[in-house]
Every structure is written in C-alpha cells, then in structure tokens.
Amino acid sequence: MAKAASVKTKPNKRTAKKPTKGQEKNKPRVKKSKRAKTPGHGKGYDKKIIALVYDFDGTLSPRPMQEYAFLPKIGVDAGAFWAEANRISREEGADVLITYMHLMYQKAKAAGVVVNRDDLVAQGKDVEFYPGVEDWFKKVEDYATSVAGGDGVTLRHYLISSGLSEIVEGTSIYSKFHNVFASEYWFDAYELPYPKRVITDTGKTQYLFRINKGLEDMGESINEHMDEDLRPVPFANMIYFGDGDTDVPSMAVMRKNGGHAIAVHTPGGDDAKCVNLFKAGRVDFYAGADYRLGSDLYQRTCLLIDRIVADIRVREETWHMASRLK
C-alpha cells in the first residue's frame, strides 16, 4: 500500500508554526499540486484512495469535546450550558452552533477566563476517547494493506466535526487525520473571538464532497460541476462513522452516492438511535463504539474495506480494458 505520507502534510507542523497576523491559521494540509491525480492524467488507474470519515463528539469521544476541559475550567455545568445554548438559539432564531460558540466566549469572560487559541489547543489533551480509538487508525491501515497487497491502495482518515478545531488539534489523535474540518474561532478578527467556520449538520456534507472531488483547499470552490470519473475519491471508497441524528445528512449523502456508513453507540449502552438509522437504511452497519481489534466495529469496518478493495480492483480492470480499446 502506498502510504499517504507523500500527500500528507503533518498536522503538528501547523501548531508549531505561528501564523502571521491576518494569515489563515487553519491552512489546508493538502497543497493543490499534491492532490490526488485526476484519473486519465496519470499512467494507470489511480482512484485507489479509501477515505474513512469520522464525526468526533459521541463517535470517537464519549462526550462533546468542550466538556472535558473548557466547561469545567469556567465552572459551568455541561447540561445547563447546552440547554442554555439551545434555548437562546430557539428564542433568537439563531444557528445553534454559532450560539454555542458565542456563549462559550460569554461564559468564559464572565468567569474571568481568557479564551485564546493556545488555551483551547492545550485543552485537547484532556479529551477522552472510546476504547481502542488511539490505536484504531494504524490497525485499519494495516488491515487495508494486508487486503490490498501491493495494489497501491491508500487509506486515509478524515474528521468532520461541529466541535472546535483548536481542541481537536491538541488531542492525541490529531496527527492521524489526513485533514480535519471543524468549526473554528477567528481570534484576531474583531474585539471578541468570532466564529471563522461553523460546521452544521448539513454543512458537513460539503466536506464529504470536498474529499470526493479532491478540493480540500478551502479557497477552492466546491460548486463547479465535476464529472464523476474525474473525482479522485469516489463515494464508493468512503466510509462515514457517526453516532446519531446530527450525522443523518452525511449518512444520507454517503448512501445515496454509493458510499458506506456505520453508526456507533456507547458500548453496552442504548442502541435505539442506531437501530432506527439501520432500519431507515441510513447505515450499512451499527456497533458499539469499541475500536479495539476484533470488536464488532472493527470486524464490520474490515468487511466494508474488503468490499471497497474488491470494487477498486473491478473498476481498475474495467479501466484497463477500456484504455486498451482507445
């Protein structure tokens, strides 16, 4: 398997290098020139990237990421905080995500706590994960390598989260992702931290199309038409992992476009939401959020990887046959 190293910009470099004022802090990691080659322009069939795309809160970590350090730091009860954000959002007709980002800032100010980028990044180290998450990424990469052999298949991990990219940056798993799309503050824009990017439930689907079209640079327009055979990561090569209602738009986009989705629930906990998603045809599988080797989640993910690798081989053979006829 060709490791993603050739196209992966090490995320930790972003934190190490301080951007100059006014410069985009959350630079895309994938330079245009290093994007997956467009099929037809390379020497052989090159749509061999498998993309595993994850939600964060409730999928990789049991609780929303703000609850591990930020809310305790400002002495605010998590249940009360989310209830207040939802109430204000309803009363004001405001987007709930913009509301929570503003409320975080307001509550911190009231508690005399400064909200800045470095603090939020530092809080990432307190985020906890479901069992096996930290070792999961390498294990499924190894599995894909063992299935695909020397066929040049590359497995990448992506994160699409409504949570805060600054907190994600400080977690132990940040470097595992090829790219992270998450909500983000703009600290030096105005007198208060201002939402730079807000990723809503439906907005998440934009990033699925960005991965699909190879347009991960936020400066590139996603709206222009691109023929299916020019898209470097077909939906059929993608698996989306989510935990509930907020993932329904993403799961629907995946499934309608020939992609795959898996719903997770607290291990040993209530699986009613997952059962409903499964019955509604939103997901291929569901399982407890146990990411350890041999778990139901691991085995069902491996089944989908088997299928994706087989699909890639079939499409590659078709591509070679068609090429010879030209």
Give the residues lining the site for Mg ion (CB under 5 A).
Answer: 55, 57-58, 243
Residue 45 or residue 136: which is nearer to Mg ion going by CB? 136
Alpha carbon 178 to its chain's center: 9
**Nearest alpha-carbon partner for 50 in 239, 201, 215, 177:** 239
Structural element, H or E, at residue 285: strand 285-288
Residue 36 or residue 264: which is nearer to Mg ion going by CB? 264
Three-state secondary structure call for residue 172? coil
Residue 212 or residue 246: which is nearer to Mg ion going by CB? 246
Residue 45 or residue 54: which is nearer to Mg ion going by CB? 54
Distance in Å, CB of 6 to Mg ion, minimum: 31
Distance in Å, CB of 233 to Mg ion, minimum: 22
Residue 36 or residue 248: which is nearer to Mg ion going by CB? 248
Distance in Å, CB of 157 to Mg ion, minimum: 16
Q: Which residues contact 168 (CB under 8 A, 6 or more apart)?
A: 56, 65, 124, 159, 161, 174, 180, 182
Q: CA-CA distance, 133 to 288, in Å (whole number)?
A: 12
CA distances in angstroms from 318 to 1, 27, 44, 227, 308, listed in the order given? 21, 37, 12, 18, 15
Q: CA-CA distance, 214 to 113, in Å (whole number)?
A: 40
Phi, psi of 199 (to 5 degrees): -105, 105
Phi, psi of 147 (to 5 degrees): -75, -45
Angle formed by the axes of helices 133-148 and 296-325, nearest 10°: 40
Cα dihedral angle (128, 131, 135, 136), rounded to 10 degrees? -110
Residue 141 or residue 243: which is nearer to Mg ion going by CB? 243
Residue 216 or residue 243: which is nearer to Mg ion going by CB? 243
Residue 174 or residue 240: which is nearer to Mg ion going by CB? 240
Residue 55 or residue 141: which is nearer to Mg ion going by CB? 55
Q: CA-CA distance, 74 to 22, in Å (whole number)?
A: 28
Distance in Å, CB of 55 to Mg ion, minimum: 4
Distance in Å, CB of 204 to Mg ion, minimum: 10
Are 213 and 231 a contacting pair, CB within 8 Å?
A: yes
Question: Helical H runs in the chain?
Answer: 12-16, 70-73, 78-92, 96-110, 117-123, 133-148, 165-169, 204-213, 248-256, 272-279, 296-325
Q: CA-CA distance, 66 to 213, in Å (whole number)?
A: 31
The residue number whose beta carbon is nearest to Mg ion equals 58
